[in-house]
Amino acid sequence: MKLEKNPLYPVFLKTSQLQILIVGGGFVALEKMEFLFKSSPNSAVTLVSPMLREETSKCVDKNKVAYIKDSYHKKYLEGKHLVIATTDQPSVNLEVYNDCRSKNILVNVADNPPLCDFYMGGIVTKGNLKIAISTNAKSPTMAKRIRQYLEDFLPDQMDELLEKLHTYRNKLKGDFEEKVEAMNELTKKMMEK
């Protein structure tokens, strides 16, 4: 059996500088919003839906999400960089996908990998350390288990260590290559068992 490799390219987005649209107001919209705000509390989010579940409404209020009480229309894509479609209507989700593709806007249609430009994988955060986990949509449950393992495994003092490394790096003399070599040597020694 040939080993398949995950072809996805991980990036870390400054979501406070991007305009994000979520289409839908149910439990899936809530899940996506909670995930987004847990990792990036200052995300700039607009949600469009003719209705909101009570829990979703609380999340909208808590995170200062711009709420538009309306059915989806492509005019709501104006100025958006990322779109997440979460409705329980496949035809609406497909419309959102097609409209986004025609405008070169990145889109994620929840629970429909073929209609996704990106996935919202597992994330582990320890201060300034952030690790993204992807199973290429093969098993979100496994990504969740790996996230839980890493959260327990990584020490809470990780941010303290990163601050010390940052201070050390800023004190280094020499050109870029010399600094990289010094940091590589130091961190290599730290990781040896």
Decide if pLDDT at 167 tops 80: yes
Residues 88-138 pLDDT 10s = 999 999 999 999 999 999 999 998 999 999 988 889 988 899 999 998 888
- 125: how many CB neighbours lie within 10 A of its CB? 15
CATH topology (fold) of 15-120: Rossmann fold (3.40.50)
Q: Which amino acid is at 16?
A: S
Q: Could you tell me the residue ranges of all domains in the chain? A: 15-120, 158-191
Residue 160: phi, psi to the nearest 5? -60, -45
Residue 164, token pair as written in the block = 């010390």
* Interacting residues of 116 by C-beta distance below 8 A, sequence separation 6+: 107, 108, 109, 137
Q: How far apart are CA 144 and CA 141, in angstroms?
A: 5
Residues 19-33 pLDDT 10s = 999 999 999 999 999
DSSP state at residue 3 = P
Q: Which amino acid is at 21?
A: L
Q: Which pTM does this prediction carry?
A: 0.86
Decide if pLDDT at 77 tops 90: yes
Confidence of residue 193 (pLDDT cuts 50, 70, 90): low
Decide if pLDDT at 173 tops 90: no
pLDDT value of position 98:
98
